[in-house]
Amino acid sequence: MPVEPPRGFFPAHVDDKGRLKLPVNFQQYLGSLGDQKLFVTSIDGRTARIYPISVWEQNERVLAEQASEDPEAADDIGFMANHFGAESKVDPQGRVTLPTGLRRDLSLENQEVRLDCFQGGIGIYNLAEYEARLRRASENLAGKLITMKKKGFK
């Protein structure tokens, strides 16, 4: 039976061997999906993502379908995902090994990070990226809230 994805941001740590220790609620969420394999990558070169393999396979289908409409975008996203990505799994201690190039390029080695769960995957933010994203989200927040309230946000 699927467990709801965790809401909010959670602190975590990537050790010196590139293993991310997942909080228990993230472990439970991933375990409930039935996927043993994960795909760990980055699409934007700033944040990492952990995808259950079934979610990543859905992304691959979307890219394949979009290859005729926007071949450059589909190709570039697939290329970046493969550049940074590798398959992984959750080990018995609740850790996920991050690909070497990904963790080095995104400054994740031996660092505290922030995790969130969004659109079926788990986002991994180094602290500098998390703070930058927080500043960006805070800009004109009152105006953004008014817009969303007009669309039904409570």
CA 150 to chain centre: 29
Residue 1 has pLDDT above 90, yes or no: no
Q: Are 51 and 110 in contact (CB under 8 A)?
A: no
With 90 as the cut, is the pLDDT of residue 34 above it?
no
Condensed to tens digits (0 to 9), the pLDDT of residues 89-123 reads 999 999 999 999 999 999 999 999 999 999 989 99
Strand (E) or helix (H) holding 65: helix 53-66
2, pLDDT greater than 80: no
pLDDT confidence band for 151 (50 / 70 / 90): very high
| Domains delineated in the chain | 10-150 (3.40.1550.20)
In 72-97, which positions are buried (b, 16+ CB within 10 angstroms) versus exposed (e)? eebeebbeebeebbeebebeeebbbb
pLDDT band at 61 (very low <50, low <70, confident <90, very high): very high
CA distance 144 to 154: 13
Residues forming beta bridges with residue 87, ordered by sequence position: 39
How confident is the model over 35-40, as a mean pLDDT? 93
pLDDT at 35: 84
From CA 151, how far away is CA 105, in angstroms rounded?
39
For residue 90, list its beta bridge partners.
Answer: 96
| Mean of all residue pLDDT scores within the chain | 94
